[in-house]
Structure 1
Amino acid sequence: MSRVGLIVNPAAGRDIRRLTGGASVVDNYAKRRVATCVLEGLTAVSEPPDALVMPDRRGISDHVLEEAPDDLTVETLEMLVESTAADTRRAATRFREDDVDVVVALGGDGTTRDVACEIGDVPVVAVSTGTNNVVPTAVDGTVAGVAAALLATGAVPAADATTRHGMIEARAETAGGTQRLSALAAAEVSTQSFIGTRALLDPSDLRGGVVSRAHPGDIGLAAIAGAVECLEPTEPGGVAVRLTDPDGAARTVRAVLAPGVTATVGIESLERLEWNEPAEFDVPDGVVGADGERELELTETTVELTPVPDGPRLVDVDATLSAGVEDGALEHAGRLQSTED
């Protein structure tokens, strides 16, 4: 029997950037509605896959089970719940080990990164309900569910509708040993010495970093690099960008640092990197962040940021639906009603 795993991050879309920037709040009610729509979308195929839902302490998974379509088998994944990012990683690990066919992840770049670190080769439909949304797409939950059903049931081969997204590995040698961090869209070096999910609203705090994709329509460091040179998610390698004071810079760009926040940023240098080619950044006192979340505090050290090719297999929803139409997977046999004269 085919199965779809559903991950809903209750904390996504609720951090301080909702107050300091212009991003909209994605509350748990909205997430429940999106998750319920995902399950409804699974019923678009004639033999829907089973669904396995990550548990939480906010009542999202309970509501999803209560509102699930009657003709769908839905269960809660049995696992420890800590109400931290570890829940997402733990669920992704379990889905990988239990041979779930497809995972639908609701959240932002941080949630998608946590899934990517543990999910292996399982295809991921990343649905945007978070703060930083460079990688997840703003797709209707019902449509995401239809795509997941087509892939899970084998109506559409995963090779025809997924692409491998790169990641960035951060590595630093410190007095306490080797420190490592994984990023999906961007690994950032900041002079701010704090840890947590706080927005970078002052461009002078950002020294640069490495991105796995770059486009002016992205957010944060990916938008800064993309204002100079675009890098598609399907292209190999990454881009290392080093920033400087715009008042003395030979090149400046205007970019979106966070939802509702634009700034003029000075570019010191920009370099294309091949897979597994590191870029070094000296960190006298600062933080290395991953996809908008500042996590690794460093002092008087050098950090290597390296683009690597072994990221998640992200689902192209439009390509999946088109392939499903060509296969006839959305056509159901009609029911003829006999009548007597």
Structure 2
Amino acid sequence: MTSFFGRTPLSGPVGLIINPIAGTDLRRLTSTAAFMDNNMKVRLARSVVGGMVGVGIKEFAVMPDYLGIYRSLIDSLSSTGIEISPLDMEAEGKPEDTRVAVRELKKLGSPLIVSFGGDGTVRIIAEESGDTPILPISTGTNNTIPYFTEGTVAGLAAGYFLKGLVEPDRALVRAKKLVIEVNGKEEGIGLVEVSMTNYPFKGAAMIDVSRVLDSVISIANPGGIGVSSVGGMITSLGMSSRSALRIVFGGSKKVRAVVFPGVVKEVGIERFELVPVGAEIELMRGQYIEADGERLFHVAENDRVTVEVSKDGPFLIDVPSILNEVTSRGIALL
């Protein structure tokens, strides 16, 4: 990290990736999850940008999207003197848009990518981001990683880091990642959890926890929702902890957990165990792989699916740590 990050200000446009469908999927029909409309996303993005502008960050690049959220954001900032432009890419309304956007931002030398979405959005960014830090802002449903916070505060914290005023070891946390392999070939990653389910059909969102058969959980958060919450009611594991939690579901033991906003269920557990970083776990047979609250792909009956617990996940902006450092060192005193 020392060779990549320095105390001198980092240059290049800050990347803004606003997931157009985050906070709008069908889980709003089966739970009390909040709806995040386009105007709310624009206002939140403006707040994050405003926080960074407050410490002198004025260059931004935003991912185009098929709903035109990016145009509304650019128009709303047109008279502020901020340099903000769309990335040179075509938006198709697919997850691949995010991957393409991250690649374009890396070509531009972006020092930071701001994710507006849920855990799934951060996961897709992390597939391509490498060592480029991510500031995850919540606009989605599963929000174990993204901050549910006032955008200006998060932007201000990120700005202090970009200006070189807070060292990387105080400003960033490196998350674990869960590497999914099918028959020895890498097929994707998870950041919060990876699960085998018995869903028989394709779908974007994982809905019913009772269909989860086997999970490896990187972040077990008792204050979260979904599979992470189930794990968190057994033990608490943070982003940078040196262990993951494996749970085999369906037994007589019960765990009461928040599976969606407004929905608490007693979930059957057969067994669980802590597994160290570096371990590889073979999941039991099933039909669909799910990661971070979303179904990813179908697997055949005889496919061998393994999950490796890796310490080399994405670098994430640690907003509370940065602000504590700013206060303790008097950086904000002018």
Q: TM-score, normalised by structure 1?
A: 0.89
Q: What count of residue pairs does the alignment treat as equivalent?
A: 322
2: CA distance, partners of 1:151 / 1:172 = 39
Superposition deviation, residue 244 in structure 1: 1.3
2: CA distance, partners of 1:271 / 1:318 = 31
Task: Describe the SS at the equivalent of 2:125.
Answer: helix
| Residue in structure 1 matched with residue 65 of structure 2 by the alignment | 56
2: CA distance, partners of 1:7 / 1:157 = 25
Superposition deviation, residue 207 in structure 1: 0.6
| Residue in structure 1 matched with residue 127 of structure 2 by the alignment | 117
**Contact 1:194 1:294 (C-alpha < 8 Å) held by counterparts:** no
Structure 1 segment 70-219 matched on structure 2, within 5 A: 70-173=80-183, 178=185, 180-201=187-208, 203-219=209-225
Superposition deviation, residue 77 in structure 1: 1.5
| Residue in structure 2 matched with residue 288 of structure 1 by the alignment | 289
Superposition deviation, residue 184 in structure 1: 1.0
2: CA distance, partners of 1:54 / 1:157 = 28
Superposition deviation, residue 328 in structure 1: 5.2
Superposition deviation, residue 90 in structure 1: 1.4
Change beyond 3 A, Cα 1:269–1:287: same
Task: Describe the SS at the equivalent of 1:279.
Answer: strand
Q: TM-score, normalised by structure 2?
A: 0.91
| Residue in structure 2 matched with residue 339 of structure 1 by the alignment | none
2: CA distance, partners of 1:330 / 1:9 = 32
Larger Rg over CA atoms: 1
Superposition deviation, residue 67 in structure 1: 1.5
Structure 2 spans left out of the alignment, 5+ residues: 1-10
| Residue in structure 1 matched with residue 52 of structure 2 by the alignment | 42
**Contact 2:38 2:69 (C-alpha < 8 Å) held by counterparts:** yes
1: CA distance, partners of 2:233 / 2:329 = 40
Aligned-pair identity in percent equals 33
Task: Describe the SS at the equivalent of 1:155.
Answer: coil
| Alignment counterpart, residue 30 of structure 2, candidates 20, 41, 48 | 20
Superposition deviation, residue 237 in structure 1: 2.9
